[in-house]
Structure 1
């Protein structure tokens, strides 16, 4: 009812959508507002508009409505033997690992529904906390409370430096960190694992970390910037770098890091009961 009122801006429109009378819709809204102890909508010349309290309630109402839809679809899929649904998060560097697993899963369970969310480890863990994700390929070390998650080692991560195919260093046989220090770097924001590793690499080599950085967590923004300006360089997982290079989008520069990144983990809430879909995804991801 609340969602319908928000979308139509009137009790009449909301009543028609949920197939009740306008007095019935008015009574339902009154009961809801009485439950919360406050008005949720303001009456304006543009109809009913949600106030701050109403916007907050609407946010959760939409989540509940979406979850009920997922529940219905998952129950239907389980009854048909399709495995149901799974929502899995992934950091950029592990996308090739996840897509391989999803392809395998869809091959054996074609009726399965899979939601993929790409973001930083911190954001993915917060989505697990909120119940929006079943699991995520990320690093629990970024959390202040890593012990609240079950984490299973997936694989180690190797890193590469990538650039535009016309970058001045693109055809070099070997590069030093001193040479790369002269480039304009596209990096993750401060205190993120890949950024910290890059900073330590410069520190250990006694080289000042580049200033005037371009900071982004978006792989698409990174790729677009690299393709727009040949002088830019960026850090990426070797799997992602190889995928881009195979499609002639970037060039992997000939530089080897002395440090190693933290491995990927499959993380989910400790003590949580995994759904059938989540168990199937876990089986596809974990080394056999």
Structure 2
């Protein structure tokens, strides 16, 4: 009788099997899968049959329109994608190290940190590790957490969008952020001293897409006030697009003060006197449960926490408006080793 224990299963898994499961889960078609993997359809069928025999379960059901993953098959597809992503990232980091670099680091960040705190932390890390390859994905928390779950990121600076995410991810809070409603200085509401949500419902808005935490807060506030869901709306996770739609298209928006404060101080935008009930949960460091933090990620986190602690000690919201000069290099963690290039 074949041993189906964890160690025995892992020893029999093959890279080509994971690739086939990944592509078949995406295409739902064995012929297209075989073509994408540059093999014959009978060869693809044999690989799938061998994998199902190895695992002792059926992974896909053939229907008239497509091959659909079974309940267990969906878990195998998810594992295959994460394993392949980890393998590709390992290969890239290894190539970087062999060239004399410091490996790679993939980060995700919400807009509030991507505008100020994250660049300063990255600048310090690059000062210490000039040849480290750093990839940054800046978008909403829900998209970041999905990418983290797929193994595409080492860590995220953001929020857990749902309570269920706590079962898959570890969360360490860093700070809160203040939301400002704002418009162009030429907007008809620019001179108002008081506004409530009823004044804003018919205006054109530009907001983050649902179901991001920031968007959920705004939608909940309108619903709690007995107002209908916003209809005149543009959705985007791009800071650049949001600011330009407010500036040139007469729209209003709501973003963290860390993003808007400089524009307001420069006179291009005005902060609207609108209070929204409720507040965003603190943002923080999100990592996958059970996954060991890489040395590069650990070094970045040490720098990030040092910046946050320094600003909190000076009585400032990390990365917020009115921030004092950047932290001195001698106040931040020193490199792991003296190698510099």
Look up the match of 2:117: 97
Indicate yes or no: 2:261 matched with 1:212: no
User: Which of 263, 267, 270 is equivalent to 2:286?
Assistant: 267
2:141–2:158: 8 Å Cα contact kept in structure 1? yes
SS in 2 for 1:140: coil
Look up the match of 1:250: 269
C-alpha distance in structure 2 between counterparts of 1:76 and 1:69, whole Å: 11
Q: Which moved more, 1:135-144 or 1:241-250?
A: 241-250
SS in 1 for 2:252: strand
Which stretches in structure 1 are left out of the alignment for 5+ residues?
1-31, 41-49
User: Which of 223, 227, 245 is equivalent to 1:225?
Assistant: 245
Indicate yes or no: 2:242 matched with 1:234: no
State the TM-score, normalizing by the size of structure 2: 0.60
C-alpha distance in structure 2 between counterparts of 1:219 and 1:186, whole Å: 10
1:108-187 counterparts in 2 under 5 A?
108-142=128-162, 144-187=164-207
State the TM-score, normalizing by the size of structure 1: 0.70
Shift of 1:122: 2.2
CA spacing shift, 1:170–1:147, aligned 2, 3 Å: same
C-alpha distance in structure 2 between counterparts of 1:35 and 1:227, whole Å: 48
2:85–2:150: 8 Å Cα contact kept in structure 1? no
Shift of 1:143: 6.8
C-alpha distance in structure 1 between counterparts of 2:249 and 2:200, whole Å: 15
1:76–1:84: 8 Å Cα contact kept in structure 2? no
Indicate yes or no: 2:306 matched with 1:283: no
CA spacing shift, 1:208–1:34, aligned 2, 3 Å: closer
User: Which of 160, 165, 189 is equivalent to 2:209?
Assistant: 189
Shift of 1:195: 1.6
Indicate yes or no: 2:92 matched with 1:69: yes
Q: Which moved more, 1:152-161 or 1:195-204?
A: 195-204
Greater relative contact order (CA < 8 Å, ≥ 6 in sequence): 1
C-alpha distance in structure 2 between counterparts of 1:182 and 1:257, whole Å: 17
Shift of 1:244: 3.6
2:111–2:138: 8 Å Cα contact kept in structure 1? yes
User: Which of 55, 59, 63 is equivalent to 2:36?
Assistant: 55
C-alpha distance in structure 2 between counterparts of 1:161 and 1:244, whole Å: 13
Look up the match of 1:88: 107
Q: Deviations over 1:27-56 (max 9, x none)?
A: xxxxx999989xx9xxxxxxxxx9544436
1:127–1:133: 8 Å Cα contact kept in structure 2? yes
Shift of 1:67: 4.4
CA RMSD of aligned residues (A): 3.4
Q: Deviations over 1:137-193 (max 9, x none)?
A: 121233744222111101112111122221111233332222222321112233321
Look up the match of 2:333: none
Q: Which moved more, 1:180-189 or 1:86-95?
A: 180-189
SS in 1 for 2:230: coil
Which stretches in structure 2 are left out of the alignment for 5+ residues?
1-14, 24-30, 39-80, 310-341
Report the count of equivalent residues. 241
The structure 1 segments of at least 4 consecutive aligned residues displaced by more than 6 Å after TM superposition are 32-37, 60-63
